[in-house]
């Protein structure tokens, strides 16, 4: 069998295709592109990746700090408002307690003042019997006019003093001085046909106590 090559012009179409495929080395084969290998230990690339990672870390840290700060501030404001409310309630309670204490102290001082005044009046009556005279004059003064019969009821000892020091004045105004042992010294009862004025010590003291919203009574000691 001859191995001499067949001239190209004498070759069949298949022979020409076969020879051409083997000559080029590409018959029916799809070329495979080699993979591009990443450069190993590239300082520039490693630095770039490190910068990206660091940037992401800082961004996450900053975001976390901002969110944490916002939450913390909200909680702080809420707690601050609670503390303000607590202080406000405490101040109000303290103010009310102080006001109540002031009222109680004022009440006690008023009671003490009335007790002292009562003691002083009784002491004055025992030392100065002449106090009956201004009491009688004030009682008469409150009457719009004197209508007979007009009487002044006083303690027997005070009756003596009135007759001694106001005899002329009482006679001119048609007053009769009557002794009444049940009336304490220093007080009197003035009566006319139309009016009566109770100027006894107990009644006068009750008027003073009522005016001061107190309940103290005039008790003879």
Q: CATH code at 197?
A: 3.30.2320.30
Domain-embedded: residue 11: no
User: Are both 118 and 141 inside the same structural domain?
Assistant: no
Contacts of range 64-67, beta carbons closer than 8 Å, 24 or more positions apart: none
User: Are both 50 and 118 inside the same structural domain?
Assistant: yes
Domain-embedded: residue 94: yes
Domain range for 174 is 129-211
User: Are both 78 and 100 inside the same structural domain?
Assistant: yes
User: Are both 173 and 105 inside the same structural domain?
Assistant: no
Residue 213: phi, psi to the nearest 5?
A: 60, 40
User: Are both 109 and 142 inside the same structural domain?
Assistant: no
Domain boundary among 127, 144, 159: 127
Nearest to 177 by CA among 204, 197, 149, 196: 149
Q: How far is CA 96 from CA 11, 83, 102, in A?
A: 126, 20, 10
User: Are both 146 and 162 inside the same structural domain?
Assistant: yes
* pTM for this entry: 0.49
When divided into structural domains, the chain yields a total of 2
User: Are both 123 and 148 inside the same structural domain?
Assistant: no
pLDDT at 75: 77
User: Are both 154 and 118 inside the same structural domain?
Assistant: no
- Average pLDDT per block of 10 residues along the chain, 221 residues long: 56 58 50 54 77 82 77 77 78 70 68 67 76 90 80 94 91 91 92 88 84 70 47
Domain-embedded: residue 16: no
User: Are both 137 and 204 inside the same structural domain?
Assistant: yes
Nearest to 71 by CA among 79, 83, 59: 79
Domain boundary among 71, 100, 127: 127
Contacts of 163 (CB under 8 A, 6+ apart): 177
Percent of the chain with pLDDT over 70: 67
Domain boundary among 101, 127, 153: 127
User: Are both 65 and 136 inside the same structural domain?
Assistant: no
């Amino acid at each position: 069998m001859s191995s001499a090559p067949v001239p190209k012009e004498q070759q069949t179409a298949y022979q020409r295709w076969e020879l051409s495929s083997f000559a080029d080395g590409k018959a029916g084969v799809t070329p495979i592109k080699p993979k591009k290998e990443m450069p190993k230990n590239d300082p520039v690339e490693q630095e770039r990746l490190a910068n990206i990672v660091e940037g992401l870390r800082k961004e996450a840290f900053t975001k976390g700090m901002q969110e944490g700060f916002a939450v913390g501030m909200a909680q702080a404001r809420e707690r601050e408002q609670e503390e303000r409310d607590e202080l406000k309630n405490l101040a109000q309670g303290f103010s009310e307690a102080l006001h109540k204490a002031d009222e109680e102290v004022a009440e006690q001082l008023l009671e003490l003042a009335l007790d002292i005044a009562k003691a002083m009046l009784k002491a004055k009556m025992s030392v100065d019997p002449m106090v009956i005279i201004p009491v009688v004059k004030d009682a008469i003064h409150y009457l719009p006019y004197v209508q007979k019969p007009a009487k002044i009821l006083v303690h027997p000892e005070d009756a003596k003093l009135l007759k001694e020091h106001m005899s002329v004045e009482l006679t001119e105004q048609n007053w009769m001085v009557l002794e009444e042992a049940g009336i304490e010294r220093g007080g009197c009862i003035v009566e006319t046909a139309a009016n009566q004025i109770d100027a006894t010590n107990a009644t006068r003291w009750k008027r003073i106590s009522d005016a001061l919203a107190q309940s103290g009574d005039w008790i003879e000691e």
